[in-house]
Structure 1
Amino acid sequence: MSDPSVLATFSGAMADIVARAAPAVVSVHSRRSRASGFVWKAGLVVTADEALAEEGEVIVRFADGTERPATIAGRDHTTDIALLRVETSNIAPTKLSSAVPALGSLALVVAAERGVPAAALGLISLVGGTWRSLRGGDIDARIELDVRLRPSHEGGLALNGSGDAIGMAVLGARRVLVIPAATIARVASRLETHGRIARGYLGLGLQPVKLDDGIGAMVMSVDKAGPSAAAGIRQGDVIVGWNDEKISGVRALLRALGPDSVGATVDVAVRRGGEPVRVKLTVGERPET
């Protein structure tokens, strides 16, 4: 027969983890939308971008019941990270851990329901390397949770069995994902400084096309005010290389247009009427839409 004290000890340990994390976890209310978030730095709260309304006022409710207005410091749709400015008083910010949890280990999500702390227990169901979201964001590790997550708990803290905050829990397609600490640190820091995440811009409409020796990206349209037009790229050109490397299609080309690409000058290999052409192009910054 199992020792009941073992279960009591385990239960107490989980409750202690939740109690330590809960003071920094908040509810985020925006136009007919409720989510969770956490104090990332003094005066700054991280929440899930997808759960944040596009317009209207934002109210943050803290664990003590206090409500304060917040402003959006920045948001990045591609990584599902939004940053809010709000008075956080004496609440200690969450200390995020860059450790990637082991597959099958315990995981806790600490969220908030109308300001009241809430928790859910589950397992780390999948662990993988870096990946790119459907919206083109670079995520530093693939972490999935086998846990039930209410929509209003999206943006809550994901913790490992030791109580370390490993990231933010969000709703993915038929699964619960963790936006890891490394991604939050990288993206939220840029949002704090610049208010947005810059993305590279070519000013081209592209379509994949099969070639005898691989796949290219055919130029279907050109923004006359964009960087490609300034470099001399024309409608009907087929892009086949990027900095002396063959491209494997349109997606591969778009993957090269991360934040660090803005302002970089690249050597683009083009086929124009079947003839090779080399173009020097300075990557622009994607306009806000």
Structure 2
Amino acid sequence: MPPIRRSLPFLLLFALLALMPALRAGAQQRGPLAPWLEARAREHAAWVEDSTRVRSGPMGLWREWVSKEPMLPGFVPPTSLAPLIRAVEAGVVNIKAEGTTQDPLRGLARMSNTGSGFLLTPDGLVVTNNHVVARGDSVAEEIVVRLADGREFPAEVVGRDSSTDVALLRLMGQGLTGLPAVYLGDSDRLEVGDWVVAIGSPFELDHSVSHGMISAKERVIGVGPFDDFIQTDALINPGNSGGPLFNMRGEVVGVNTAIISQGQGIGFAVPINMVKDLLPNLRKNGQLQRGWMGVVIDERSQVGTPQQRAAVVKEVYPSSPAAQAGLRVGDQVVAVNGRQVDSYQQLLRKVAMLAPGTEAKLTLVRGGAQQEVTLKLAARPAQEVLAAMASPGNLGELGLLLRDLSPEVAAPMGLEPYEGVLVSGVTPRSPAARAGLRTRDVVTEVNRRKVKDIAAVKGALEKGAGSTVLLRVQRGDVQQYVVLEP
């Protein structure tokens, strides 16, 4: 190609660049032409720069990277994982657990499990899987933990939770100081494709190492209500259970817990951030005492991004922690204790991991503006109580849970159907509790109006005047009037 033709693109570029100051100065007088020329100049500059790094194949069918500069800035291919493994393997332990369990067919049966774990603190707290040290309601009677240096210690269960398959152990005996505890990382920052290393004792092969990458996050595999697994192709086998999954910084980002027996290269780990939320609960209560805010959440698609979900408050239970903190219907919960929430399931997991009495800081979006509120979580009520609270018979402002006297409800109690409304629950310290109402009481009148179902009770309350409510209540063969003062 003649030199002049070869240099034409560069001459054109220099001409456009020389014109740019003048184009900017006269943009108002020249209309939309100046911005268009500026954009073309930038595109040409990018083309010239790219042409020094990329070469096209015949007919432009493919591209080749010819520059000595890295094609993927920030990517450094690993050469050897040996330094990382040497730094962290001392914190990985082997666990043997033995005891007896109740078998429904054979009666008492021997339980013998092996697994892995890791040292959480220098004084001997160890994290492992629940299924390593327990089977159903039966906890192993003898647990022996062997460190990487060969020392063995008996251990006891501090707390465990089958729904997340996490257990916290405490080593016992002499020499429990300065143990090689691991560091925990941030599993929320993991990305698909990040390198990870699993260390454990598969098939009792002590301190075996496998490596791979994060294959997926937030996997639901049907193990329990808090399914939120990290999927990895690092080889995980029986005996790896409870062992750590390390990132490339040497931090534990997951607890290896499950495999799919029919598949190869598919393993699962509990995210370490979930474990962090759970550990204080296990240490204090010995089991998962689930926190409760007192809201019903509606999961919606976010405007403009239907693939992303939002946790929006649909209902706030009266007198609940959420009500006392000022949450309202329509609030969108976007974070709990500074950690992002994108769905109902994430919100449920983050709150349920926190013990009752824990203060939780919620980040909300209300009316387009972001704000923070702090509430103290209560103990999660039993499922039947929650169902009652969500029913039309929940008069939260009075502290009453009511139920219609349908024939199915009335017959076992020897009552006539729809001759009043049954009190099925009374909230402690509520107006109903202060007035002495009890479960199995039957409300027959509200503010001097006879009632036969819950709809009639609500209608009578709406028509009532004043702040007090007058009820006529039948208790056994006795009828009496009761005054409720909200």
CA distance in 2, matches of 1:170, 1:76: 13
Instruction: Give 1:19's aligned amino acid.
Output: R
Unaligned runs of 5+ in 2: 1-76, 99-111, 293-314, 319-328, 330-344, 357-377, 393-402, 408-417, 429-486
Q: 2:118 aligns with which of 38, 43, 53?
A: 38
- 1:101 is matched with 190
Partners of 2:125 and 2:170 in 1: how far apart?
5
- Alpha-carbon distance in 1 for matches of 2:255, 2:157: 18
Match of 1:262 in 2: 379
Measured after TM superposition, the shift of residue 162 of structure 1 is: 3.4
2: CA distance between counterparts of 1:98 and 1:277? 51
Amino acid at match of 1:93: A
- CA 1:282–1:66 in 2, change beyond 3 Å: closer, same or farther? farther
Give the 5 Å matches for 1:34-73: 34-41=114-121, 42-53=123-134, 54-73=139-158
- Partner residue, 1:233: none
Q: State the one-letter code of the partner of 1:124.
A: I
Q: Where in structure 1 are there 5+ consecutive unaligned residues?
A: 1-8, 202-240, 246-251, 284-289
Instruction: Show CA shifts across 1:69-125 (max 9, x none).
Output: 001111100111001110443213211011431112221101246583221011211
Question: How far apart are residue 51 of structure 1 and its match?
Answer: 2.1
Shift of residue 143, structure 1, vs aligned partner: 1.4
CA distance in 1, matches of 2:215, 2:290: 32
Letter in 1 for 2:275: I
> Secondary structure of 2:239's match?
helix
Determine which structure has more spread, i.e. the larger CA radius of gyration.
Answer: 2
The alpha-carbon deviation at position 277 of structure 1 amounts to: 8.5
Residues 122 and 282 of structure 1, relative CA distance in 2, 3 Å threshold: farther
Q: CA deviation at 1:187?
A: 1.2
2:191, 2:124 → 1: CA distance? Answer: 32
Of 85, 88, 94, which residue of structure 2 is paired with 1:21? Answer: 88
Query: Do the aligned partners of residues 44 and 281 (structure 1) sit closer, same or farther apart at CA in structure 2, a change above 3 Å counting?
Result: farther
Contact 1:25 1:157 in 2 (8 A): yes
CA distance in 1, matches of 2:291, 2:280: 19
Structure 2 distance, partners of 1:52, 1:278, is 44
Higher-helix-fraction structure: 2
Change in Cα spacing, 1:15 to 1:45, as seen in structure 2 (3 Å) is same
Would you say the 8 A contact 2:198–2:235 is kept in 1?
no
Residue 272 of structure 2, aligned match among 178, 181, 187: 181
Deviation track 1:25-61 (CA, whole Å, cap 9, x = no partner) reads 0001012210000011222100011122432200000
Identity %: 22
In structure 1, what is the Cα distance between the partners aligned to 2:316 and 2:86?
Answer: 52
Secondary structure of residue in 1 paired with 2:391: strand
Deviation at 1:146?
1.2
Aligned residues: 224
Q: Does 1:84 align with 2:169?
A: yes
Q: State the shift of 1:11 in Å.
A: 4.4
The 2-side partners of 1:152 and 1:184 are apart by 20
Stretch deviating more after TM superposition (65-74 or 90-99): 90-99
Deviation track 1:177-218 (CA, whole Å, cap 9, x = no partner) reads 1211211112122111121112589xxxxxxxxxxxxxxxxx
Contact 2:230 2:254 in 1 (8 A): no
Question: SS of 1:152's equivalent?
Answer: coil
Q: Which residue of 110, 116, 121 maps to 2:199?
A: 110
1:61-210 map, 5 Å: 61-87=146-172, 88-99=176-187, 100-112=189-201, 116-128=206-218, 134-136=223-225, 138=226, 141-173=228-260, 175-199=266-290
Question: What amino acid is aligned across from residue 33 of structure 1 in structure 2?
Answer: N
2: distance between equivalents of 1:86 and 1:115?
A: 22
The answer to whether the Cα contact below 8 Å between 1:21 and 1:110 also exists between their aligned partners in 2 is no
Change in 2 beyond 3 A, CA 1:281/1:50: farther
Tell me, in whole angstroms, the C-alpha distance in 2 between the residues paired with 1:132 and 1:10. 31
Per the normalisation by structure 1, the TM-score is 0.65
Q: Which amino acid aligns with 1:181?
A: I
Decide whether the 8 Å contact of 2:214 with 2:232 is kept in 1.
yes
Q: Counterpart of 1:116 in 2: which secondary structure?
A: coil
TM-score (norm 2): 0.41
